[in-house]
Amino acid sequence: MSDFNDQDELGARRRNKLKLLQFDKDGKDLIESEKPNETFADVGGLDDVKKKIRMNFILPLKQPELFAAYGKEAGGSLLLYGPPGCGKTFLARAVAGEINANFMHIELQAILGMYVGQSENNLHDIFEKAREHKPCVIFIDELDAMGGSRNQMRQHHDRILVNQLLMELDGLRSANDEVFVIGATNTPWYLDSALRRPGRFNHMIFVPPPAEPERSTILELKLANKPVEKLDLTRIARETKHFSGADLEQIVKDAIEVALERTLETGDIQPITQDDLRKAAKHRKATTLDWFATAKNYATFSDVNQDFQIVLDHMKEHGMK
Ligand SMILES: Nc1ncnc2c1ncn2[C@@H]1O[C@H](COP(=O)(O)OP(=O)(O)OP(=O)(O)O)[C@@H](O)[C@H]1O
Ligand SMILES: [Mg+2]
């Protein structure tokens, strides 16, 4: 199958996300929150990332007295970054699921497209609403959309919105305990440096593609409750180096399609076979490699604070050039 399908898939995912935030003509009733069912158990691997999130977000909420002794309250913000399809959005939803919190998904592109004035108000409304509905996770996707290089007018507009976001994040430290802000970006090096100061998005967490055993786990998760023959998933995992979680999900979808075709031909349920998965994997490519090529450039040539050393380490460890 061609790469166009991957693009469609990506587009569909993006459109799907947009559904959550709805703007009417007057800019009222703009926020839809939901309670995700996903938990960390649905996220394959990423143990280090989960641990960091547990320490910062989840345990302070579950055992406030322990953390209060150190002057730490529940609440705060962190930034997830990494190649596409490796679980940033999925993980953010799972955080909300873990703590049984409301989840608000902000697509910055949508807010940036609004009139000057309207966008700041909307951003403020979102944070207000989150305070009314705590515990609440506010997920700000495509954070890099803010403050990127654009024409002067746009830059001015973005600046105002960045300032508004900074104000909301600063307010978070005083008033919004139990409001969690998770930002996500594929291009952390473009992020406005003011957003990276202490108390804002100063926890940057790299969300890497799954390693081999994690790929097995993800395949297993995606195949759960489906009709399958006896499968050797470690083998598929071995043959899918650098594949993202989304790539693996796609392989499972491709294999399901083939099994379904067989089922329709024969009239009884045909299990998904090792061969279906193997062929599907062969026809797909890892979609994370372009990201690493770009990241390597930044990490090598313009990373004065060595923020992205971890990306270089990952590349070395997994034999990427
Ligand atoms: N670790 C994982 N465990 C289980 N499923 C995963 C994992 N990583 C990715 N997926 C699957 O891939 C899909 C896409 O992942 P997600 O949207 O979270 O990626 P992302 O990192 O936010 O990508 P983008 O940068 O394109 O926004 C998810 O809906 C999920 O089904
Ligand atoms: Mg995402």
Q: Of ligand 1's atoms, which has the minimum distance to the CA of residue 46?
A: 1
From first CA to last CA, the distance across the chain in angstroms is 27
How far does the centroid of ligand 2 lie from the alpha carbon of residue 190, in Å? 17
Q: How confident is the model at residue 111 (pLDDT cuts 50, 70, 90)?
A: confident
236 compared with 131, residue with greater pLDDT: 236
Domains and CATH numbers, the chain: 12-206 (3.40.50.300), 212-282 (1.10.8.60)
pLDDT score recorded for residue 212:
95
Q: How does DSSP assign 102-166, residue by residue?
A: EEEEEEHHHHHTSPTTHHHHHHHHHHHHHHHT-SEEEEEE-GGGTT-S--HHHHHHHHHHHHHHH
Please state the rounded mean pLDDT for residues 87-114: 87
In percent, how much of the chain has pLDDT > 90?
A: 48
Name the residue with the closest Cα to ligand 1, atom 16.
87
| Per-residue pLDDT tens digits for 201-219 | 878 899 999 999 999 999 9
pLDDT classification of 230: cutoffs 50, 70, 90: very high
Residue 87 alpha carbon, nearest atom of ligand 1: 18
Residue 88 Cβ < 6 Å to ligand 1: yes
Q: What is the pLDDT of residue 137?
A: 92
More confident residue, 14 or 59: 59
**CB distance 246 to ligand 1 below 6 Å:** yes
More confident residue, 200 or 73: 200
Kindly report the number of other CB atoms within 10 A of residue 206's CB atom.
21
209 within ligand 1 shell (Cβ under 6 A): no
Residue 110 pLDDT > 80: no
pTM here is 0.85
